[in-house]
Amino acid sequence: MNSYHFESHSFQIPVMGTGFSIDAPLKVAKYGISSVISLVDDNLIEQMRQFHSEKNNLPYSPIRRGSEDWRAKRITSYLNLLDDLVKKEVLELLESPFEEGSEITSYFELLPENHLKQEYLKMKGLPEGEERSLLQKHLRSQVVTGSIDVNIMTKLDTVPVYKGKELDTKYSSAISALRGYAKSKLNSAMIFSAGINPRLFDAISQYKDFLPNVLGKLKKRIVIKVSDFRSAIIQGRALARKGLWVSEYRIESGLNCGGHAFASKGILLGPILEEFRKGKQKLIETIGGAFLKSGGDSRVVENGFKVTAQGGIGTAEEDKFLREYYDLDGTGWGTPFLLVPEVININEEHLNKLVEAQKSDVFLSQASPLGVLFWNIKNSASELLRKSRIAKGNPGAPCVNKFAALNTEFSETPECLASKSYQKKKLAALMKEKLPLKVFEKLKQNILAKSCICHDLAGAATKTLGIDKKAQIALTPGPNIINFSKISSLKEMVDHIYGRINLITSEKRVHMFLRELELYIEHFRAKFEDISLGIVVNEGKKQLIEFGSNLLDGISYYQELTERFFEEKKDSFILSLESLKLEVLDINKKVKSLNC
């Protein structure tokens, strides 16, 4: 059995909230599929450790909040449990017979049409005998385990307060999560998202698993989510100078993804991928040079790095085009897997809400206390409860976990923007400002929009599994969810990704590049309205003009790309681009008339 890596499949399942994918590796790793779990919520992690320990008749000893280094220890213990359980599953898979419905048969049936799949199909066609037995033995030796990867939002790095006392910074959220992962047995990847955190990046090199061993191999790999090529250069070089190698640059669409949406300055995914395609050599020379200068192992540089992309991919054709034209090493499929209860945690009620979701139900909200745009769905239990509290004159949520308690505007003790305490004080302060009614209402709605996503994103697991029957569930699908309305099995979704079947149910689905462009135009219009009202003060006319210019450059790029590569629906693609270009030009005209 080979050790963890991610070569058997061309896709991985990205992190989805906290509860949705918190134990996804137990569902997919044995089939060679890599997935990512969030390390934000150590309370959920501890609950899941208890749940899976008891489910598997294993001893469980609680790690209580307030005990020495509790957050890191909870994370280490849970990750070690996952590692043990996945290894047990893989051993059982390897011992299963090559027959209809067996685990090892499922493993090979899920594979893409690669060389190993062809060997498997050849074996199936052989009669019983020595040749068939030898080929089966060879196939078993080629089984790989999907990587149990983890994610840290770098900026979510609060220092916990326990019994009224702020703890040492070494116990901060991100640093503790890093330590918890670093001390685990996992041979996998740590994904850093949301940019540079100097304190966090400084801490990585103290853990030997992130450094090359005597063979020049890395037990724990570093993956960074990046918004563009410049970000990859900056972050990759910053880590290389510390003797740390980035094994993968994971490019994510700014708006066409689930959960938090880190919008770019109007730079679209296609042009970003083009820059990576053309600049790969520059990236390896720049990062490799800095790494070697810091004393890094040349064998690590020779192994290179991966470049992958995710966000809004919906068809096998899109997936194939991204991998082949942009020379990507893989893709990420997130939102469609929300309709695969075999893989993620979700109860029947909310699964049906996703099945029935229409375009008007899925919206880009101000719900996140982090001040980052956040994909939401109008009728989730979490969103309905937020509205109910407002209707009763009691807005805001109890701040249970305090993972997003970052604001010190009204208190020396950081508060969460979604908390009752903060919203009460912020609304009172807003009333005193005597603003124009339209501005007041917009700012008021932005305050009230904040939701307790720390607790409610865990609800997908805790409520579904019966751990916390009172939990609320927040849904954070990307806009791609409206194109899928069929509850699917893992096999069906993998078959869809590889083009063996089609699960798209929307006849009106547009190409992922066009959908992202539409989202950016909506965002452009919203930014213009906020600036024209004076609501946004840190951006102005110059930034808006740059935003519009980037959109027009992106449209020109897609027009050229369409002429060269698109055959099917080429005319409709070009017509859509022309129509969207007119929208951008119209907003540009309004921007230029602004007096700011």
In whole angstroms, what separates CA 87 from the centre of its chain? 25
Which of 229, 330, 228 shows the shortest CA–CA distance to 287?
Answer: 229
Which among 76, 120, 80, 104 is positioned nearest to 1, based on CA atoms?
Answer: 104
Which residue(s) pair with 226 in the sheet? 251
Q: What is the pTM of this model?
A: 0.95
User: Can you state the percent helix, strand and coil of the chain, rounding each to 5?
Assistant: 50, 10, 40
Q: Is 537 exposed, middle or buried (0-12, 13-18, 19+ CB in 10 A)?
A: exposed
Structure tokens at 457: 């994103």
C-beta separation of 8 from 120 below 8 A = no
CB 362 within 8 A of CB 511: no
Residues 70, 72, 77, 81, CA torsion sign? positive
d(CA 223, CA 221): 7
Structural tokens at position 354: 């996703």
- Which residues neighbour 426 within 8 Å (Cβ) at sequence distance 6 or greater? 409, 410, 417, 447
CA dihedral 252, 253, 255, 259 (to 10 degrees): -30
DSSP string, 549-578: HHHHHHHHHHHHHHHHH--TTHHHHHHHHH
Q: What is the pLDDT along the chain (596 residues), one digit of tens a residue?
A: 333 344 689 999 999 999 999 999 999 999 999 999 999 999 999 999 999 999 999 999 999 999 999 999 999 999 999 999 999 999 999 999 999 999 999 999 999 999 999 999 999 999 999 999 999 999 999 999 999 999 999 988 988 878 778 889 999 999 999 999 999 999 999 999 988 999 999 999 999 999 999 999 999 999 999 999 999 999 999 999 999 999 999 999 999 999 999 999 999 999 999 999 999 999 999 999 999 999 999 999 999 999 999 999 999 999 999 999 999 999 999 999 999 999 999 999 999 999 999 999 999 999 999 989 999 999 999 999 999 999 999 999 998 888 888 889 998 888 999 999 999 999 999 999 989 999 999 999 999 999 998 889 999 999 999 999 889 999 999 999 999 999 999 999 999 999 999 999 888 899 999 999 999 999 999 999 999 888 875 678 899 999 999 999 999 999 999 887 776 678 889 999 999 999 999 999 999 988 76
Helix (H) or strand (E) segment spanning residue 35: strand 35-38
The H or E element containing residue 223 is: strand 221-226
Tokens 């790989």 belong to residue: 144
Cross-strand partners of 365: 374
Locus of tokens 């906290």:
18
Phi then psi dihedrals of residue 334, to 5 deg: -110, -75
Name the nearest CA neighbour of 143 among 279, 329, 8.
8
Token pair in block for residue 205: 């090199």
Other CB atoms within a 10 A radius of the CB of residue 254 amount to 23
* Domains, the chain, ordered by start: 11-336 (3.20.20), 381-474 (no CATH), 510-596 (no CATH)
Phi first, then psi: give them for residue 402, nearest 5 degrees.
65, 20
Q: Token pair of 49, please?
A: 């450790």
Q: How many CA atoms lie within 13 A of 493 on its CB side?
A: 27
Q: Within 10 A of 345 (CB to CB), how many other CB atoms are there?
A: 25
